[in-house]
Structure 1
Amino acid sequence: MPPQSGPSKEKSEPVPDFTQHFTWEEIAIHTGWGHGTSGKDRWLVIDRKVYDISKFYLMHPGGKRVISHYAGQDATDAFAAFHPNKALVKTYLKPLQVGELAPDQSTSEPSKNKLLVEDFRELRATVEKMGLLQPNYFFFFLIFLHILVLDAASWLTVWYFGASLVPFLVGAALFATAQTQLNWFQHDVGHFSVFRSTKWSRRFHLALAALKGFSPSWWNHLHNQHHAKPNCFRKDPDLGFHPVLFSFGKILSTELGKKKKKFMPYNHQHKYFGFLAPFAIIPFFQLALIYFATKHKKWFELFLTVTYNIRIFLMYVPLMGLKTFMVYYLFARYIEASWFIWISQMNHIPMHIDYDRNLDWVSTQLEATCNVHQSLFNDWFTGHLDFQIEHHLFPTMPRHNLWKAAPLVKSLCTKHGIEYKTKTLLTALADILRTLKDSGEHWLEAYLHG
């Protein structure tokens, strides 16, 4: 008589758990810069899962540097901030998982404010439930429409009134305004805050490249790094002019002085910033764009940049001649560059500048950003970067919703004793020069006596 069938021994045993568990100390050595095998690997943590990005970082759509900046660190909040469709992206991350945080390890790194991290993640969930990450398409349609009107008005002014002094100046001002507002708008598109679909965002970003003359891939490469680690030397490309033209912050300036480095008279940098900074970024941006597009074989983006310049040439040269056009174009570009420099840096240069100290997401952004008092003019003039704090905490949030998130962020800061800094527009602009003056004095003191 055959034996009675029943549950096999194999089926009754629990499935073994092959998941490896790691401590924060073990993860921290995988930065890509250390010695030995582990030191050359790049690991990061997202929602307690440990991922090996040693090869993936080279293919990362947002750029290899931005993801590498979090190697050996907790990237949970940065991941949530940059990716509108987190569920989709996690499917690509799944093959990269090598383990999880050990059960006895805190959700956030020991060096970070655990309660602040937890409260911010609750705040982000609240923001999502309130629909503050959803765009208002009519708002952005009006933004785009007014840019087209300004752009047309610049040409019509010269076409109708000629190239005498007054229409020349008015036309150049309108051209610079259109280009600046277009810069704020492409900033929205690049952050996926106009379209929630990454596919449509990238397509429209390319379309704007034909109107602006830039490379979306180059912009993303730089700007994503800035948002990931703002005011962190060697990680934030916005500090790229340190120490060649300017010296930023007390810490970096003192260090530069002690090393007896003097590329410029930094104790006078507050005097030449207003002239030199915009003058420098015009050729720098153009050359960097061409270099990046060529190196990464972004031929179509380079083509759009070339066609933009051809279009502007054909629109204006027949009206004013080549020499007058060159003066007109460079003058308008200088206005645009000045506008961009002062507005983009008023929220950052006066704030703390240092090396990456691996702070939590909220502390990293609050140390590096401040706000400007809201008004309709300030909203328009700055592209809503008067809410720089909220923009940095929630970079994909459409700009028309930033003011709604501000009271929530302010309450979070109050609860945890973090300064929520806001100031008038004129004070914010003046603080750039004040901070540069202070940094220059720290450099000089260290240079002479360090």
Structure 2
Amino acid sequence: MTEQVYARVSAGKGRGSDFAELLRRVREAGLLERRIGYYAVKTAVTAALLAGAGVLFVVLGDTWWQLFTAGYLAVVFTQIGFVGHDAGHRQILRRRRAGDLVGILHANALIGLSYGWWVDKHNRHHAHPNEVGRDPDVGAGALVFTAGQTARRGRLGRLAARYQAWYFFPLLTLEGLNLHYGSIKSLLHRRDRGALLESGLLVLHVAAYVTVLVLLLSWGRALAFAAVNQAVFGVYLGCAFAPNHKGMPGPSEQDAADFLRRQVLSSRNVRGGPVTDWVLGGLNYQIEHHLFPSMPRVNLKRARPLVRAFCAERGISYRECSAFDSYRQALRHLRSVGAVVEV
């Protein structure tokens, strides 16, 4: 969805017109303009980091020091994923086909994830953040986020839920594999032309990844490299996305009908400086990102004081905390849900 669509949905009498006013201020500040130069530099730097991983891999050769390369490559993969995320939100290019091509190359070809599957899933999250039954990111799975979800699980599942706060971070080591599985499962069921391109690029990624490991490393080291690479990739992705909504309340029925409040009240920002911005890929400005998903990442920091002041004017709670506190709140929520489970 674009900001123009949001404005038409939100414009009206009473509270619904608040977002239209905020949108006007953001537009006048020029914060929705594309930043092609920024993304050209960002893409070039990310490509250089990826090339550096390749050079390091070749120079080290068949040694256990390659596990360091595996961790470094996982960080690069996540940074590539952030660029694919921005492409999916039309932050880089306005034209859909051009933006999708950028996203597919970054997601399918470079990190082995289905761009189309992720965009569909992520758009549903953006439309209904933290709404159980509508937001796929709070659907019941290895973790449960509400007491109602625990009631529908078997005895073993309820027992696991009681200790979910303890295994949340260890579970993230499998998140990369989970995303690969979801990507492949989705592509196997799709019949559109885009799925053919995505499948081809994903197969190319897997073939290149496996071939390089097998040719340059012993089998044991190759398996260890893949395990460390995917584990660090999963933990990094999980730690980048978990602070944004986990532990935040779902919107009330009244607030869910109001776009501005639905997005702000279910999100939190993470305080920090340029390092935090880079490590979290701009997702630390989650409130601004949810309000204006097509706003270029580099402009989110500039939008923050404007949005924060606007929320203060309207009496809307605007949440910010440190990264450490965001994880603490997420774990506390998981623990509170598990504590009421009857085994």
Listed as ranges, the gaps of 5+ residues in structure 1 are 1-61, 63-75, 87-105, 109-113
Cα distance, 1:356 vs. partner?
6.6
Query: Match of 1:181?
Result: 79
Measure the CA separation in 2 of the matches of 1:343 and 1:119: 30
Cα distance, 1:374 vs. partner?
2.9
Listed as ranges, the gaps of 5+ residues in structure 2 are none
Measure the CA separation in 2 of the matches of 1:133 and 1:77: 9
Q: 1:290 to 1:356 in 2, by over 3 A?
A: farther
Q: Which has the higher helix share?
A: 2
Q: 1:156 to 1:316 in 2, by over 3 A?
A: farther
Matched, 1:391 2:282: no
Q: 1:314 to 1:366 in 2, by over 3 A?
A: same
Aligned residues with identical type, % of pairs: 27
Q: 1:258 to 1:133 in 2, by over 3 A?
A: same
Matched, 1:141 2:40: yes
Query: Match of 1:5?
Result: none
SS at match of 1:122: helix
Q: 1:287 to 1:169 in 2, by over 3 A?
A: closer
Measure the CA separation in 1 of the matches of 2:184 and 2:152: 34
Cα distance, 1:197 vs. partner?
1.6
Query: Match of 1:161?
Result: 60
- Which residue of the other structure, out of 324, 331, 336, is the alignment partner of 2:233? 336
Residue identity in the other structure for 2:183 = L
Query: Match of 1:307?
Result: 204
* Structure-to-structure mapping, 1:188-337, within 5 angstroms: 188-208=86-106, 209-240=108-139, 242=140, 244-248=141-145, 252-253=146-147, 255-256=148-149, 262=155, 263-265=157-159, 266-279=161-174, 281-297=175-191, 298-337=195-234
Measure the CA separation in 2 of the matches of 1:170 and 1:260: 40
Cα distance, 1:307 vs. partner?
0.3
Deviates more, 1:341-350 or 1:135-144: 135-144
Cα distance, 1:230 vs. partner?
0.6
Residue identity in the other structure for 2:186 = F
Q: 1:257 to 1:182 in 2, by over 3 A?
A: closer
Measure the CA separation in 2 of the matches of 1:326 and 1:78: 48
Measure the CA separation in 1 of the matches of 2:248 and 2:199: 35
Query: Match of 1:23?
Result: none
Residue identity in the other structure for 2:178 = F
- TM-score under structure 2 length normalisation: 0.90
Measure the CA separation in 1 of the matches of 2:4 and 2:331: 31
- Which residue of the other structure, out of 73, 76, 79, is the alignment partner of 2:5? 79
Q: Which has the higher contact order (CA 8 A, sep 6+)?
A: 2
Tell whether the 8 Å contact from 2:264 to 2:287 is kept in structure 1 after alignment.
Answer: yes
Query: Match of 2:271?
Result: 373
Query: Match of 1:40?
Result: none
- Which residue of the other structure, out of 273, 280, 283, is the alignment partner of 1:382? 280
- TM-score under structure 1 length normalisation: 0.70
Measure the CA separation in 2 of the matches of 1:293 and 1:379: 32
User: Which protein shows a greater Rg?
Assistant: 1
CA offsets, 1:247-277, max 9 Å, x none?
A: 21xxx22x34566754142221110111124
Tell whether the 8 Å contact from 1:116 to 1:416 is kept in structure 2 after alignment.
Answer: no
Measure the CA separation in 1 of the matches of 2:118 and 2:138: 15
RMSD: 2.4
